[in-house]
Each structure stands twice: as C-alpha cells, then as structure tokens.
Structure 1
Amino acid sequence: MKKNIVNKKNILFVSRYGETLDIAFAIQKEGHKVKMFIEDKGCKEIGTGFIPKVLDWKKHKDWADLFIFDYTGYGEICESLRKEGKLVIGGSVYTDNLELDRNFGQNELKRLGIKTLPFKEFTSFKEAIEYVTKNPDSYVIKPSGEIQELKQLLFVGSDDSGSDVIRVLKAYEKTWGDHFGAFQLQKKVKGVEISASAFFNGKKFLSPVNITFEHKKLFPGELGVSTGEMGSSMFWVKESPIFDATLLKFEKTLADKNFIGHIDLNCIVNGNGIFPLEFTSRFGYPQIMIQRAGLLEPLGVFFTKLAEGKNFHIAVKKGFQVGVFMVVPPFPFTDKKAFNLFSKDAVVIFKKELKEGVHPMHLKQINGEWLITGDTGIAVLVTGTGITMKDAQRNMYNKVQHIIINNCYYRTDIGDRWFEDFDKLWSWGWL
C-alpha cells in the first residue's frame, strides 16, 4: 500500500482550450493529484467540478512532479522547464515551428530528403490570385500561424483551372483584408489522406506507432464545411512504411531539439508515393482520447515514463479504435448568441450507466451532472474498440444511442473510409 502511494504523482496540465480534460480526469481517477490551468478566456469554465483548476499555473511549479502542455506555442516554456530539471510532456521551439510555420515544416521535410508537394507562400491575396491565373491548376488554400485554427478557412479546390480557388481568395480579400496573415497555396494531389504518429521520449520514437484516418467534414459522406475533426478511426502497428518514410527520419532532429511528447504527420498517399501535408506536434484532438481507448496501461504511469525518457513498448489493444464527436450549435462556427440560446448549460443525459468510452470535452460538472460550457459546442467524444472496424463502429454507436443531448448532431459514418481506403493502401504497398 505504501509503495502505491509513493508512485502517485502531482500532475499539472497547462492547457490552451481545456482539450485535455478527459485525460486529466482519467489520471485523477487513477489516484494521482491533478490541477489544470486553461489559458483561453472563453474556455475557463471547462473542467469545473471534474478536476481542480488554477488561475496561474506558474504558482504551482514547485507542486508539480510532471507538467503536461497540450498545445502548440508553449515550446520555449517547455524547454526552460526541462533545463530546470522538470519532467515535461510538450513541445519545443523547433516543433512549434513545424506546426505553426507551414513553410518551415515543408522545408524541413525537404532537408531530410522527403518528397513534398509544390507550394508557394503568400501574404497578399492579390499576388496569390495573379499566381493562380498564370499557373492554372488545382490548389489547396492553407492558412499559417494561429489563424489555421479556424478550420473553415482551409479550402480544397476541385477545378483544374483554379477558378474556384480564385473565387475563394477574392472572398477572403473582401472579408479579411490585411488581417489574414501568411498562407500557402499547395498543389492538390489525389489519394488517401492518412496520418502517421508516435510518442517520442526525448531520444527515440516508441513502438508501436499509430495510423489515423480523420473525418474532417461536418456531414456524412465528407460533405459540408471543414470542422477540423468530427471523428477518427485508427490502429496501432509495430511497423509502417509510411512512418518509416516520413516521421522516422526526424528522430535525430527531435532528439537534438529536446522534444518529448506526441507528433503526427498528415499525408496524402497514392501509387506514386507519400506526400506529407502538415505536422501536429502535440496531442491531436480527438486523436489522444481515441488512442487512450486503445492503451492497456494507466495514463499517469505512461506519461511519467515518457517524460523520464524511458524506452518501453507501449501496451495497446489489438484491432481498431474509433471515436465520434457529439456536438451542439453553433459548432463548427463561433456565435456566442447562438451558443447561449441553444447549448449553454445543456445537460448530457445517460439512458444507462456507461463506464467506458464516453469522454468529457467542453463540460463542467454540477451535482454529478455533466453540463455543456465553453463556447464551441463540443460536448463529448464517444469511442469504441474492436478486432474489426465493424466491431469498433458497432461498439461506439451503441454507446451513442444511450446518450441524450438536446440539439445534438454527429456523423454516422466514422470508420467507413477504411473499407475503401484499405484496398487502395494495400494495392499501393503502404500497409
């Protein structure tokens, strides 16, 4: 019993939007002491009633045995804490730049001999329109920096002349003016969108690695506005040709740059090769919660070993994991009036007790009831696991049927991509 108490940690979460509530809550239930700081003003109420909250994380530095930073932009702080001898899960200045500066990320891929898609960076809509006019083709408009968090601004063109991209650029010029910042025009290529990711212990990548298929559009069948994410399907593998050809080549650089945490590289693959699109050099959302559904060891132990730089095999379930967001208005848009009218303080009701697979997102807890808060409309993530993708989907959607949230909507096809993508990936030799 005494040994058990000694192993319990004080874990401080420094969060941008409260996205790691589920992780912190799970670690707390394992017996560790947890505190969370949330930076964004509109998200301050998230987690209230679930876990202890703090107004200034720096005042709790001496209390914490382990720091977990859940977003990009904290790299310099993470490096400073590591120099002080602290255990830290989080980025570095280098990995922040990989994600936030698309031009830097693409150039790093080139430096390591990884094939990239042609792209050009702009800060002027007028120059971008002139470029597409002179070089007609299909392009993707990709904002850089903090503005890339507004996922609805990413536009994937479908016209080989680029006329649809020109129309969108003209609309952005009228609505954003000079406040848009830098953005890329990247040549569009057809294939399967897939991401390879792994946990890095400061020296090397841990095995197994994770392969994820994101479902970004609002409606089933990949229709509607890009939301960032409506759900994902995934599996763990000991070896991956996609990972070996991309992220694995960053192992020495990440060690040199003092990175400890999780990193993901989203790619398009086809019969001609792998084309990396963008880095996520932090936890992915909902990726980390779906990964949690597949982990076979306590999170507190897992993250402590990772931060200590230990080399270990990650114990995971066989088969597949899937997850779907259950959301309410105004998601995926920002509209405070609509949120207050339709969603604020709405209750998450369970028809029967669900012990596993329901992950609180932007919620608070009052007298044991889960209430929606924040300002985005993301209520819960529901996960499922199974030996086959069909089993995992069935497990997940059975849970969804036992949850009542007024005005809620969610996608009904998370995981369906796999059945077509599998054939393509297998025939191209990527599985």
Structure 2
Amino acid sequence: MRILILGKGGREHAIGKKLLKDFSPMEIYFYPGNGGTNQIGNNLEKNYSTMELCFFAKKKAIDITIVGSENFLLDGIVNVFQNYGLKIMGPHYEAAKLEGDRVFSKTFMIKYGVRTPKYKVFSSYQESLDYLKKTTYSVAIKTNGLAEGKGVHLVKNKKEAKKALNSIMIEKKFGKSGDKVIIEDFLEGQECSILSILNGKNITPFLSVKDYKKIGENEKGKNTGGMGSIAPNPYMTNEIWLDFKENILKPTLEGLFAEKLMFFGFIYFGLMITSNKIYLLEYNTRMGDPETQTLLPLMNSNFIHMIQSSFLYKEISISWKKLCSCCVVLSSGGYPDKYKTGKVIEGINSLNEPFYISGANNKKEKWITSGGRVLNVVGLGNTIDEARKKAYNEVKKVKFEDFYFRKDIGL
C-alpha cells in the first residue's frame, strides 16, 4: 500500500506512525514533511504545485492521499485529485470554506441552527472600532481567513481591541485573511475539541480533547497553533455529549447534505463548554494539531481500515484504550512571534514512544530545530495526572538553546 500525507508537522508524523503500526508493509510519502517523517517514509524534497502532486500520485500509484495541513485545501487540491480518479481524504473546495472562510462558516451555522455565539462581520477598521465602543469590549476578534491558529484575539478593553484590529486590518499581519473581521460574543467556559471522520454520509466523532492554545501558562498571552492537549476532556460530561450531538453534530450533518458539502475526510469541532451548554466556535476540515498527536496513541482501531471504510460509505466504529493522554509541545523561544532556528537538540534519541517531530530536521545524525513548534512529547496513564507526569518526565530528557514549554498542561 502507498500513502501520501500532505503537511510538515507533528500531526503528519503521528498519522504516519499510526498507519505503519496498523498496516505493514506500507510505503509512505510526505510533502513536505520534516526530519521525523523522513525516518519513517520518504519526504518529497523539491517544491510541488498542486498539479505536480497529482501527477506524482498517479505515477507512484498512490492508494490514498491524506491532507494534514489546511494550507492545501483552499488551493482546491481535493477537486484536482478527484478529477484524476485519485482517492484523497479531505474536503472539496466549497466544503473547505467551512474552515477557510469564517463568514461562510458562520452563515452556515446560523442557517442550519448550529448553536454558536452571536457575531458581527466588518470589512472596515473604523466601523469595527465604532461597534466596539458600543460593547463591553469582552469579545473575540477573529480574522476571516486562515491564520495558522493564531487569528483569534480575546479582548477585554479598548486598548486590547485597538491593538488587535490594528494588527489584523492595518498592519495586515495575516495578509488577506484580515480583510474582514468577525467580532463575536466572548463566552466564559472550557474549550473542547472533537475530531471526527466522515464517510460521505455520517460523522463519527473521536474522543473529546482539551487544547491549550495560549503561549503562556494559565492561558495567558498570544494564541499559538497549540501548546499541548489532553484526552479525554474532563469537562465533556455525558450531558454535554448529548447536547453536542443534538445541537451541533446533527444540524451540521443536515447542512452538509443540504448544501452539497459532504466529503470523505475529517472534520474538527472547536467548541466552548459553558455552565450548561456547548457552543461551536469553529470548524476545521482536517485533523487538529496537537489533538491528533494526543488521540492516535489512544486509538485501538486500525486507522487505515477506518479510512478505507469511509470511501465505501461503511459504518465506522472506533475502539479506544481505557487510558488518558497528555501531549506537551516544546517550542523555540520567541514563538509564536519571531524565533531562531538551527539549534541543536539533545535527548530525542532517548525518548520513549509516543513522541512526534514537529519542527526539526536530522542532519549528519544531529537533530536541528527548523520551526516554531519543535517536538511533541506524549504521556499515557490511567488518569490525566499520571499521563501528564509521564509526559513531563520525558520532557526532562530534551534540551536545546532557548527552548520553551508550558508547565501546566493537564493541570
């Protein structure tokens, strides 16, 4: 079997490791990949356009392509692959807008009764500012387009609001993604992520995850791509699960069919659990990072069989280990802003599984940092506390200049 995985982070390394564990022999290609993926498969070294990736998949007789990173989706890669008769796990262009275009996504939620916070859309800096003057300033300001998980600003006063709007709309920190902003009611509660697999007719949810998005401990500071996560999410009670299925999952499925947006792939629900209700904050139309790294070590089911079943419209049931998981992300100092790469990493070769390379390359038998998020270390245990202790014991083995990690993941 030949698989192509698109992306370069810890998520893609985790997907590759799980596939190899479940199915052998398997030949895996990664584009562009990282130092970890190159040890379990073959990284495609040169730059490829969408069409060139398609021709590569045809030439190599790739059985299934899995889109890990969102950056490929809004280029319409799924449409191209499907037009050439290639199996690919991911949404077609219109469905990818559920992640890549927040205005489109919010309109979809409202139309189909998916419970979500109230919001307003603005394309003018001044109109945004004028609107905020009429509010209590306790809002979430979001870029309309993709921003690598960093396009959400939670503001509580005028100074923070002006700074966020200036960054998005004037300085254009996120490029065209900031041409429009969404100003959304701020909800007090606990964040929750639920990844799911789609088989063209149904959505099968995975275990719930709690993600830690802020760079600082106690959820302080700037948003990142994710500094760690735990599973299962302790705030996801049976009552909240039922609420999620009734008020978010069910109307989402109805909307996907009604709008002809159903696909073969993954959908991620970014949620907020308040005192008695659950709200949908966003969709992602792929697997999350670092949620994937947290969940896959808990999955008993054969992952490639699940993926194959989805293309056949078969019912999917997932078996999970009766364990908890804690993932800690090690990053370069300065992330998510400016950071330096090229630092030698010590201790990777002494780590116990599971761990995943995110932003590092292997050169002359040395591990060298190449990104903001460098390494994902995972601990498993009978409780969250046991899992986090194991994860942090592994973290102690790793060292590189100016590295950083949060010490409160799972607390």
Q: TM-score, normalised by structure 1?
A: 0.81
Query: Are 2:290 and 1:292 equivalent residues in the alignment?
Result: no
Q: Would you say 1:224 and 2:221 are equivalent positions?
A: yes
Mapped contact 1:88–1:307 kept (Cα < 8 A): no
* C-alpha distance in structure 1 between counterparts of 2:312 and 2:367, whole Å: 35
1:92 correspondence with 2:92: yes
Tell me the amino acid that sits aligned with residue 235 of structure 1. P
| Residue aligning to 2:407 | 412
1:330 Cα deviation (Å)?
Answer: 3.5
Deviates more, 1:17-26 or 1:220-229: 17-26
Q: Structure 1 312/407 Cα, relative in aligned 2: closer, same or farther at 3 Å?
A: same
Aligned to 2:128: 128
Structure 1 residues 187-206: aligned runs within 5 Å: 187-206=185-204
User: Secondary structure of 1:359's match?
Assistant: strand
1:11 Cα deviation after fit: 0.4
Summarize the Cα distance change of 1:389–1:189 in structure 2 as closer, same or farther, 3 Å threshold: same
Describe the shift of the 1:94–1:241 C-alpha distance in structure 2 as closer, same or farther (beyond 3 A): farther
The letter for the 2-side match of 1:410 is: F
Structure 1 stretch 165-174 or stretch 391-400: which is displaced more? Answer: 165-174
CA distance in 2, matches of 1:289, 1:199: 16
Q: Read off the aligned partner of 2:30 and give its amino acid letter.
A: M
Residue identity in the other structure for 1:389: I
> Residue 331 of structure 1 aligns with which residue?
335
* 1:328–1:377 contact (8 Å) kept in structure 2: yes
**Offset of residue 95 of structure 1:** 2.8
Contact 2:267–2:283 (CA under 8 A) maintained in structure 1: yes
Once residues 200 and 238 of structure 1 are traced to their aligned partners in structure 2, the CA distance between those partners, rounded to angstroms, is 23
Superposition map of 1:3-18 within 5 A? 9-15=1-7
Q: How many Å separate the matches in 2 of 1:302 and 1:363? A: 30
Write out aligned runs for 1:372-383 (5 A): 372-373=369-370, 376-383=371-378
Q: 1:231 corresponds to which letter in structure 2? A: G
Q: Is the 8 A contact 2:149 2:223 kept in 1?
A: no
CA contact (8 A) 2:228 2:409 kept: yes
Query: Pick from 278, 292, 303: which aligns with 2:307?
Result: 303
Q: Hey, what's the Cα distance between the residues in 2 that align with 1:411 and 1:44?
A: 23
Residue 158 in 1 paired to residue 153 in 2?
no
CA displacement at 1:368 relative to structure 2: 4.9
The residue aligned with 2:394 is 399
Residues 370 and 307 (structure 1 numbering): CA distance in 2 closer, same or farther, change over 3 Å? farther
Q: Could you tell me which residue of structure 2 aligns to residue 53 of structure 1?
A: 43
Question: CA contact under 8 A between 1:231 and 1:323: conserved in structure 2?
Answer: yes
Residue 365 of structure 1, CA deviation: 2.7
Contact preservation (8 Å) 1:87, 1:308: no
1:399–1:136 Cα change, 3 Å? closer
CA contact (8 A) 1:344 1:372 kept: yes
Cα displacement (A) at 1:47: 4.1
- Equivalent in 171, 176, 182 of residue 172 of structure 2: 176
- 1:261-272 mapped onto 2 (5 Å cutoff): 261-271=265-275
Contact 1:112 1:249 in 2 (8 A): yes
- What SS class does the counterpart of residue 224 from structure 1 fall into? strand
Task: Give unpaired runs (5+ residues) of structure 2.
Answer: none
- Structure 2 CA distance for aligned equivalents of residues 413 and 102 of structure 1: 30
User: What is the rounded CA distance, in whole Å, between the counterparts of 1:16 and 1:353 in structure 2?
Assistant: 21
1:335-354 alignment runs, 5 A limit: 335=338, 338-339=339-340, 343-350=341-348, 352=350, 354=352
One-letter amino acid matched to 1:22: A
In the TM superposition, residue 77 of structure 1 has moved relative to its aligned partner by: 2.8
1:65 to 54, 58, 63: 63
In the TM superposition, residue 285 of structure 1 has moved relative to its aligned partner by: 0.5
19 and 291 in structure 1: CA distance in 2 versus 1, 3 angstrom threshold: closer
**How many residue pairs end up in the alignment?**
390
Residue 299 of structure 1: how far off its partner (Å): 3.6
| Partner SS, residue 156 of structure 1 | strand
Kindly report which structure 2 residues correspond to 1:100-139, keeping only aligned pairs within 5 A, or say none. 100-139=100-139
Shift of residue 17 of structure 1?
6.3
Q: Which residue of 1 aligns with 2:231?
A: 234
Change (3 A) 1:10 1:77: same
Letter in structure 2 aligned against 1:290: T
Indicate how the Cα distance of structure 1 residues 345 and 403 shifts in structure 2: closer, same or farther if over 3 A, else same: closer
C-alpha RMSD over aligned residues:
2.9
Structure 2 match to 1:422: none
Letter in 2 for 1:15: G
DSSP 3-state at the match of 1:395: helix
Task: Single out whichever of 400-409 and 249-258 deviates more from structure 2.
Answer: 249-258
Matches within 5 A, 1:66-85: 66-72=64-70, 73-74=72-73, 76-82=76-82, 84-85=84-85
Letter in 2 for 1:321: S
Query: Who is 1:247 aligned against?
Result: 249
In 2, Cα distance between equivalents of 1:116 and 1:352: 45
CA contact (8 A) 1:351 1:404 kept: no
Distance 1:16 1:144, change over 3 A: farther
CA contact (8 A) 1:19 1:362 kept: no
Does the CA contact (< 8 Å) of 1:202 and 1:260 recur in 2? yes
Larger deviation: 315-324 or 361-370?
Answer: 361-370
Q: Contact 2:112 / 2:255 at 8 angstroms: preserved in 1? A: no
Q: Secondary structure at the match of 2:121?
A: strand
Q: CA, structure 1 residues 22+273, in 2 after alignment: closer, same or farther (shift >3 Å)?
A: closer
Between 26-35 and 214-223, report the one with greater CA deviation: 26-35
CA distance in 1, matches of 2:80, 2:262: 11
Quick one: distance in 2 between partners of 1:365 and 1:301? 31
Secondary structure (helix, strand or coil) at the match of 1:391 reads: helix
